[in-house]
């Protein structure tokens, strides 16, 4: 398994991970219609604009295939008290539980620190078991928000790290 910076050529692979991860992670949480309407083609176009926009985007690949990614950058609202934000981290279901997510988090924390960020927040949808992953990495619950997808409003938990240094040490991530 290798982690590297994403390139424009990775857009369809990242889109595939996005769609498959949403369909497995959010089944029973998000309206089925929302998940059915999500397409690799549509997400590929979105990722083509995100790659190279100044945000941080790393992919995890195995045998030349993208199996996961992490996307981060400046906190988007300016209201959270954190300067960095973990926008997304997804791994194909069959690769979860192998410490790849921890490696992606560490890599993005190192890059955020290089860019002079000191803290980071992530938003987790109610019902997503990833909350346990973030808490295990030392995140603390900081606030709640809401997100409307389809006809449903979902509760979001804001989890944050006030010091990115805690994520950059390999031995602190297990």
Among 6, 11, 10, 38, which residue's Cα sits nearest to residue 22? 38
Tokens of 35: 């998940």
Domain with residue 153: its CATH number is: 3.40.630.30
Question: pLDDT tens digits for 102-136?
Answer: 999 999 999 999 999 999 999 999 989 899 999 99
Question: pLDDT tens digits for 55-114?
Answer: 999 999 999 999 999 999 999 988 888 999 999 999 999 999 899 999 999 999 999 999
Please state the separation of Cα 101 from the chain's center in Å. 9
Residue 139 lies in domain:
2-173
Confidence (pTM): 0.92
Task: Specify the number of domains making up the chain.
Answer: 1
Q: Which residue has the tokens 């996307």?
A: 71
Residue 59's φ and ψ, nearest 5 degrees, are -115, 150
Question: pLDDT tens digits for 36-58?
Answer: 999 999 999 999 999 989 999 99
């Amino acid at each position: 398994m290798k982690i590297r910076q994403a390139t424009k050529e990775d857009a369809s692979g990242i889109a595939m991970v996005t769609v498959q991860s949403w369909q497995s992670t959010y089944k029973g949480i998000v309206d089925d219609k929302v998940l059915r309407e999500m397409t690799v083609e549509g997400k590929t176009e979105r990722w083509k604009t995100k790659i190279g926009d100044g945000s941080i985007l790393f992919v995890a690949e195995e045998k030349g295939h993208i199996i996961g990614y992490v996307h981060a950058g400046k906190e988007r609202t300016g209201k959270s008290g954190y300067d960095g934000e973990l926008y997304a981290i997804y791994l194909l279901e069959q690769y979860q539980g192998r410490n790849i997510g921890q490696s992606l988090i560490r890599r993005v924390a190192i890059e955020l620190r290089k860019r002079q960020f000191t803290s980071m927040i992530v938003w987790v949808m109610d019902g997503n078991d990833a909350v346990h992953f973030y808490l295990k990495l030392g995140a603390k619950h900081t606030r709640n928000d809401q997100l409307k997808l389809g006809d449903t409003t979902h509760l979001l938990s804001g989890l944050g790290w006030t010091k990115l240094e805690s994520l950059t040490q390999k031995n602190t991530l297990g």
